[in-house]
Amino acid sequence: MPFYGFKGGIHPDYNKTATAGKAVEVLPVKEGGHYFIPLAQHIGAPAKALVKKGQEVKAGELIGKSAGFISANIHASVSGKVVGLQNIPHPVAGKVPGVVIEAAGDQDDIMPVEEGEKFQDTVLNAGIVGLGGATFPTNVKLSPPKEVDTLIINGAECEPYLTCDHRLMLENAEEILKGALTIQKELGINYLIIAIEENKPDALEVFSKLGENYEFELVPLEVKYPQGGEKQLIKATVDRVVPEGALPLEVGVIVHNVGTCVAVYDAIEKKKPLIERLVTVTGAVGEPKNLLVRIGTPVSEIIEHCGGFPEGVRKVVMGGPMMGFAIPSLDTPMMKGTSGLIAFRESDMPNLKQTNCIRCGRCVDVCPMGLIPAIMDRYVVKEMYEELADWHVMNCIECGCCSFDCPSRRNLASGFKTSKREVMKILKAREAEAKK
Amino acid sequence: MSQDKLLVTFSPHVRDRMTSDRIMLLVVLALVPSMLVSVYVYGFYAIKTYALTILFCLAFEAGFQKIRGTAITLGDNSALLTAILLAMNMPPNPPWWLLMVGSLVAIVISKQVFGGLGHNPFNPALVGRVFLLIAWPAQMTGWIEASTVKAGFAFDTVSAATPLGQVKAEVLTHGEIVSDNLAGMTDLLVGTVNGCLGGDSAIAVLIGGLFLIYKKIIRWHVPATYLGTVFVLTGIYWFFSPDKTLTPIQHLFAGGLMLGAFFMATDYVTSPMTPKGQIIFGVGCGVLTVVIRLFGGYPEGVAFSILIMNAFVPIIDNYMRPKSFGEAAA
């Protein structure tokens, strides 16, 4: 099995033992409980609400319609009554419009997905987005404008603490594979690669057994963050370099997360829309768990189910500790892209006292994109966006390796993330200038 | 738990344990073997020089920051490190005022006026040394004979020349080396040889330097290319005129080269950040050191060459930018 690796990356403490051995539990729907379903759970335009206050909805019913090319459908995750159309806390956007449903009893019955003419339409109808965290609408990714010869299934799960993909690979391996094979067949892709980090030997074992009956290539990955980054994964497994500013399909590859494959399988084979997902609840909670949770469940309820917080919890992160978002409120609901909930006490948190850059070059060593964060940071501080553009800030994948390794605790990655919007304007202006 | 107390910070939410002040402390730790050797060789004089330099440097750093009304950053250990390196660049028994002026130049003029740690273009300890060397050449070359602890404590010292200084003098006056057995290899390695406080003992510096490489505090690129360049160039010269210079091995271990290569040229703030840049930097330091040692007016060229290369760091960083992932070959 070939493995080529990539340059840079880090080895944080993985902290996965608390939940790696725990089978997935289903969080029951709470009768009378309120479920807050944001209409923007994906990259791109928010969905348009289709329901009115007071209306009865069924689990799986379409309540938000995909608005535009890069957008996704939103379904009711529980049956019940729409009790509000209101703004809902969101970890990134502050507040976003959403639908609040009061859950009724009987939850077994889920409305099937409307089958589309094409396979991609069914995926669109099911409201599937990339479940690795980037939440890019999957139907768009499954409609490549160019020929693709390789499909890579991403089972790296390189973020510390998270284990939900790991559990999924152990408990739903066949579904993952069938979802992947469906994608492979529909798009006429030659090679199927399943890539899993070596720190999950049991998952590798499961897939290597499946390999007796199905045709795919299993690639064990070096344990290193950000091994699951799309461009890093492609470099490591098929040794192709995605050009700067381009998508993986430029080199004939598409990458899908293991969870996305299961969602595709569910939509195509079971006609089930995306209304629930796996989440790892860990850190400073009573009992860390891997939970199957309905979209829209408030974080507070999930935490309660996991035994609540010990004394002194100061920060709750949605997603992984490297790229996740600290949430301001426990009213924030579970979303399609939420892979983890991690609670930190003061004593779990690093000292974040920022000091001057000492030019140690550690950020340069660890950057998987070959950037020079230390120099870019100077331009961020001085808001010199022209220079930032010249130092390739747009190629930053915001993985946070530089910030992680910085001994001066400079907020490198977040600075680049917030600067990119301004840099984008400059690049567009340059392009327009060049066209004249 | 009250919800409005949740802390919101940017990702990543986990960080590596290494901090800047710990890095500085590890470098200080790596200098301990050299300090011990210098105390062994120069006794009380060495202790006095270290103590005074540390006192002056910390006082100037804190005092200047107090006057400017900025945060006092003695806790980052950078002033401590500069102090020890400056002391190591002094002759064994300098007058106290020389140490005071050196500390002032190193801390205030070459570091704090530029904005403190991280903003200084030149290595502070070396600026201090070179300033003193030019302003008070007699005091800065008042070598005393390296013996053992007893000498320093007995205040009974004999003035002497360094191996490099003696070679330079002999070649300038006689056209070739006249004395035999200038500096034995054992003396150079152990450190029982006349010269500056630190760096006398090649072994002690090497232990500290390898420790830093092992701990991944510094990379091998600068020391290896620096020492390699000096070895090759002095080797070529020595091959053709063995009567005019020391052997390449002696060149490696004599003077401040080892200390410079492992501890001064690798200074984060004043050296390039990329491996390629560090190779250019190391080779540059090596070439300049050899040119000054063989053809310059000074017997030693380490301090000058590192300072000159410091000036090129911004431009090296600018041109040695690695290719961004997927960047079009242009």
Report yes or no: B163 and B174 within 8 Å, Cβ to Cβ: no
Tokens of A422: 């301004």
Most distant CA atoms of chain B, gap in Å: 85
Contact B273 A364 (CB under 8 A): yes
Contact A413 B10 (CB under 8 A): yes
The pLDDT score that the predictor gives to residue A107 is: 67
Arithmetic mean of pLDDT, B299-309: 94
Residues 6+ apart with CB under 8 A from B324: A244, A369, A370, A371, A392, A395
Amino acid type, B212: L
Residue pLDDT, tens place only, A206-218: 999 999 999 999 9
Which DSSP letter does residue A95 get? E
Higher pLDDT, B255 or B219: B219
Q: What is the CA radius of gyration of chain A?
A: 21
Contact B325 A405 (CB under 8 A): no
Residues forming a β-bridge with A81: A56, A102
Residues A76, B305: Cα–Cα separation, whole Å = 71
**Cα A254 to chain centroid, rounded:** 16
Arithmetic mean of pLDDT, B175-199: 73
Contact B6 A231 (CB under 8 A): no
Residue pLDDT, tens place only, A79-126: 999 998 999 998 888 888 999 999 987 667 889 988 888 889 999 999
Residues B299, B129: Cα–Cα separation, whole Å = 15
Average pLDDT of chain A is 92
Arithmetic mean of pLDDT, A232-255: 93
Q: Which residues of B touch A326 (CB under 8 A)?
A: 6-11, 13
Residue pLDDT, tens place only, A318-361: 999 999 999 999 999 999 999 999 999 988 888 888 999 999 99
Q: Which residues of B touch A246 (CB under 8 A)?
A: 326
Residues B216, B18: Cα–Cα separation, whole Å = 11
Contact A323 B9 (CB under 8 A): no
Give the one of A313, A368, A413 whose C-beta lies nearest to B12's C-beta: A413
Q: Which residue has the tokens 């007995």?
A: B154
Residues forming a β-bridge with A291: A25, A279
The pLDDT score that the predictor gives to residue B297 is: 83
Arithmetic mean of pLDDT, A143-159: 93
Q: Please, which pLDDT band fits residue A149 given cuts at 50, 70 and 90?
A: very high
Q: Please, which pLDDT band fits residue B149 given cuts at 50, 70 and 90?
A: low
Arithmetic mean of pLDDT, B4-26: 90
pLDDT above 70 coverage of chain A, percent: 99
Amino acid type, B258: M
The pLDDT score that the predictor gives to residue B322 is: 86
Q: Which residues of A touch B271 (CB under 8 A)?
A: 359
User: Measured on CA atoms in the order B167, B170, B173, B175, is the torsion positive or negative?
Assistant: negative
Res. B150: pLDDT tops 70: no
SS3 A210: helix
Which of A359, A375, A378 should we substitute to test contact with B (largest number of B Cβ atoms within 10 Å)?
A359
The pLDDT score that the predictor gives to residue B111 is: 95
Tokens of A113: 């997905």
The pLDDT score that the predictor gives to residue B329 is: 61
pLDDT above 90 coverage of chain B, percent: 62
Res. B41: pLDDT tops 50: yes
Residues B186, B38: Cα–Cα separation, whole Å = 16
Residues A341, A33: Cα–Cα separation, whole Å = 20
Quickly list DSSP for B281-327. Answer: HHHHHHHHHHHHHHHSSSS--HHHHHHHHHHHHHHHHHHTPPPPTT-
The pLDDT score that the predictor gives to residue A327 is: 93
Residues forming a β-bridge with A99: A37, A85
Report yes or no: B256 and B302 within 8 Å, Cβ to Cβ: yes
Q: Please, which pLDDT band fits residue B183 given cuts at 50, 70 and 90?
A: low
The pLDDT score that the predictor gives to residue B2 is: 47
Arithmetic mean of pLDDT, A293-302: 94
Residues B302, B30: Cα–Cα separation, whole Å = 20
The pLDDT score that the predictor gives to residue B159 is: 63
Arithmetic mean of pLDDT, B251-277: 93
SS3 A344: strand
CB pairs under 8 A between A and B: 165
The pLDDT score that the predictor gives to residue B1 is: 46
The pLDDT score that the predictor gives to residue A177 is: 95
Residues A33, B79: Cα–Cα separation, whole Å = 60
Tokens of A269: 């084979």
User: Phi/psi of residue A366, each to 5°?
Assistant: -90, -15
Which of B2, B4, B5, B16 should we substitute to test contact with A (largest number of A Cβ atoms within 10 Å)?
B16
Residues 6+ apart with CB under 8 A from A429: none
Between the alpha carbon of residue A135 and those of residues A43, A60, A121, A244, B252, the distances in Å are: 6, 19, 17, 21, 58
Between the alpha carbon of residue B157 and those of residues A412, B141, B176, B181, B193, the distances in Å are: 55, 15, 29, 22, 14
Residues B79, A23: Cα–Cα separation, whole Å = 54
Give the one of A231, A356, A400 whose C-beta lies nearest to B116's C-beta: A356
Interface of A with B in 32-61 (CB under 8 A): none
Amino acid type, B38: S
Residue pLDDT, tens place only, A354-398: 999 999 999 999 999 999 999 999 999 999 999 999 999 999 999
Arithmetic mean of pLDDT, B119-126: 96
Residues B218, A272: Cα–Cα separation, whole Å = 55
Nearest CA in chain B to A404: B15
- Percent helix, strand and coil across chain B, each rounded to 5? 65, 0, 35
User: Measured on CA atoms in the order B292, B297, B302, B305, is the torsion positive or negative?
Assistant: negative
Residues forming a β-bridge with B17: none
Burial A60-71 (b: 16+ CB within 10 A, else e): bbbbbebbeeeb
Residue B202 exposed, middle or buried by CB count within 10 Å (0-12, 13-18, 19+): buried
